[in-house]
């Protein structure tokens, strides 16, 4: 169990992935600040960025976009 947690944290805190997540949070916050753009719409607008990414990077990118606007509203 703990080995799965450490391997997951190693993936997230890899420099490339960490920069990608920070960029996605910035995009999500930007989309969340626009009136009429929900978190779901932000994910929809972020999908074209994920076409050339591997699966783990794409999912992390979209989750970071989705979570950023919801934190701004709360």
Given this model, what pLDDT does residue 70 score? 60
Residue in this structure with the two tokens 């929900």, named with its chain if needed: 38
> Rounded to whole angstroms, how far apart are CA atoms 49 and 28?
13
Checking if the pLDDT of 22 tops 80, the result is: yes
pLDDT in tens, 27-59: 988 988 888 888 889 899 999 999 999 999 999
Q: Which domain holds residue 6?
A: 2-73
pLDDT band at 71 (very low <50, low <70, confident <90, very high): low
Given this model, what pLDDT does residue 56 score? 92
Given this model, what pLDDT does residue 39 score? 85
Domain count, the chain: 1
> Rounded to whole angstroms, how far apart are CA atoms 44 and 19?
21
pTM metric for this prediction = 0.84
């Amino acid at each position: 169990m703990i080995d799965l947690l450490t391997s997951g944290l190693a993936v997230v805190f890899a420099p490339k992935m960490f920069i990608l997540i920070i960029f996605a949070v910035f995009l999500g916050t930007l989309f969340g600040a626009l009136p009429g753009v929900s978190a779901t719409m932000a994910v929809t607008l972020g999908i074209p960025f994920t076409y050339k990414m591997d699966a783990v990077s794409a999912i992390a990118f979209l989750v970071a976009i989705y979570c950023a606007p919801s934190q701004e509203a709360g």
